[in-house]
Amino acid sequence: MDLRYTDEEEQFRTELRAWLESVLPDVGPTPDRSDWPARRAYDSRWQRTLHDAGYAGINWPRDYGGRGASPTEHLIFLEETERARAPYVGMNFVGLLHAGPTLVVEATPEQKEHHLPGILRGDHIWCQGFSEPSAGSDLASLRCRAVRDGDDYVVSGQKIWTSFAHVADYCEMLVRTDTDAPKHRGITWLIMPMDAPGIDVRPLRTMEGSTEFCEMYLDEVRIPVSNRVGNENDGWRVAMVTLSFERGTAFVSEMLDSMELCRELAELARKVTRRGGTAWDDLGLRRELGMLAAELDALWALTRRNISEATRTGLVGAGGNVFKLAYTDLRHRMGDLALRLLDRASLSLDDIGELPTGRHVQGRIHALSMSIAAGTSQVQKNIVAERLLGQPKERGWTSG
Ligand SMILES: Cc1cc2nc3c(=O)[nH]c(=O)nc-3n(C[C@H](O)[C@H](O)[C@H](O)COP(=O)(O)OP(=O)(O)OC[C@H]3O[C@@H](n4cnc5c(N)ncnc54)[C@H](O)[C@@H]3O)c2cc1C
């Protein structure tokens, strides 16, 4: 394991930092989070800016328009963009981090030519139609049915928790094509154009007040067979290919933001009044904050270790699961501390007076979703128990 940056990597950092300084003044303010057309325009514009400067698809292979960056360069890219407060990947998330990398490995030359440039330029937004009401952690139980009819699949069923479905142009979707085969073997990976007739997208409002999630009702949606990625009934394997692209960098931006949040908690403690002084006067609270900061440092070291391992072996291993479990737990505790500091002000999602109530309350609520998305904490515990600690496999549980 080598956690040092090489001269070339530092050079990459310097160039990127200079570039960010030159372009960020023109980016403009972040749009209101409920203004979806403005958000789409903002995210697409930033992706186009990255693309034109050669920073789009930073870890994608060069042959497909990416930069071919190593996991460490990718880490530097995320560090620098977060440090400079550059826009986040936003609604290009699924295209750039899930669908695109999967197409790079599994798609036909025609599919690659048709879709990859649009993802890299930020022209096309993708969503992910995997989860269903009875298929989340146990994804392979999915029931959304696709029946072959000539050159089309006819798809009917329901998807849920589909982030950005209401703005997406395409959906990477898992459907059941064989109801008799064992559950992992009857699944197919399809590209669904979101303007196909028969798709009913219904936004869901979250506790945070946002409408990023949707339900999708599919009623005999015709999807050309030429939109199938991989073989029929081989979709589970194709879906797993996507996961193999994760090289330990998935939570880097979040981690850096959490470090900032921790500093903001200390500021907040100095502002809120308690019995004639401020919360900062409380030694126990300062100790708690110090502990959180130390845990964040430790998790940053674990991130670097995971990335070092990924650079060497190509895979993150169970270190990624340990990280996600510990990190989401830490965010819950940071959120709880923020709410205690805010006291009654924590009942508001908007800022109250001088206090940055909104960010902290939203951060607490957001922490709940972090321990569900991309594998719940319980599922992470199962994986750590089985793969790292050598415990017996849970009976009846088939996560693939
Ligand atoms: C922010 C966010 C974004 C998302 N975006 C998308 C998206 O774009 N597309 C998409 O398809 N999905 C998306 N999801 C859905 C996500 O993948 C699922 O919520 C997740 O897989 C959990 O599934 P579930 O909600 O059905 O819960 P369930 O799997 O029903 O779990 C319910 C509870 O049971 C526990 N549990 C389940 N199985 C076990 C077990 N074997 N052992 C112990 N405990 C267990 C879970 O930990 C959880 O506490 C998103 C979710 C979130 C929070």
Q: What is the DSSP string of 374-387?
A: TS-HHHHHHHIIII
- Around 180, how many Cα atoms within 13 Å sit in the side-chain half-sphere? 0
Q: Tell me, what's the pLDDT at 399?
A: 43
Token look-up 């996600």 returns 324
Question: What is the DSSP secondary structure assignment for residue 172, as one 8-state letter?
Answer: E
Query: Residue 180: how many CB atoms within 10 A of its CB?
Result: 6
Low-confidence ranges of the chain (pLDDT < 50): 398-400
Kindly give the pairing relationship between strand 152-159 and strand 145-149. Answer: antiparallel
Strand partners, 189: 174, 229
- Domain covering 252-388, topology: Butyryl-CoA Dehydrogenase, subunit A; domain 3 (1.20.140)
**CA of 377 relative to ligand 1 center, distance in Å:** 9
Q: Which of 120, 150, 133, 20 is nearest to 76 (CA)?
A: 20
Ligand 1 site-directed mutation target among 88, 91, 137, most atoms within 8 Å of CB: 137
Instruction: Report strand pairing: 213-224 vs 152-159.
Output: antiparallel
Which of the following CATH numbers is that of domain 126-236: 3.40.50.2300, 2.60.120.10, 2.40.110.10, 3.40.720.10?
2.40.110.10
Nearest CA to ligand 1 atom 39: 379
Give, for 158, the enclosing helix (H) or strand (E): strand 152-159
CA geometry: angle 237, 171, 174, nearest 5 deg: 35
Q: What is the pLDDT of residue 396?
A: 56
| Ligand 1 centroid to residue 390 C-alpha, Å | 24
Beta pairing class for 126-129 and 170-176:
parallel
Element (H, E) at 214: strand 213-224
Q: What is the pLDDT of residue 1?
A: 62
Distance 81 CA to ligand 1 centre (A): 29
Ligand 1 atom 48, closest CA: 376
Tell me which CATH code domain 7-88 carries: 1.10.540.10
Residue nearest to atom 26 of ligand 1 (CA): 136
Q: Say if residues 305 and 1 touch (Cβ distance below 8 Å).
A: yes
SS3 breakdown of the chain: % helix, strand, coil, rounded to 5? 50, 15, 35
Domain ranges in the chain are 7-88, 126-236, 252-388
Tokens representing 156 are: 């009917």
- Positions annotated as catalytic residues are 246
> What would you report as the CA-atom Rg of the chain, rounded to the nearest whole angstrom?
22
Name the residue with the closest Cα to ligand 1, atom 51: 373
Give the per-residue pLDDT at 130. Answer: 96
Residue 113 CA to residue 64 CA, distance in Å, equals 9
Name which of 161, 156, 163, 159 is nearest 223 in CA terms: 156
CA distance 104 to 115: 10
Name every protein residue with a CB atom under 6 angstroms from any ligand 1 atom: 127-131, 136-137, 161-163, 369, 372-373, 376, 378-379, 382, 394, 397
The pair of structure tokens assigned to 149 is 């009819």
pLDDT at residue 2, as a whole number: 65
And the tokens for 137?
A: 């952690």
**Hey, which of 321, 372, 386, 391 would you mutate to test ligand 1's pocket, going by the most ligand atoms within 8 Å of its Cβ?**
372
Place of tokens 């936004």: 203
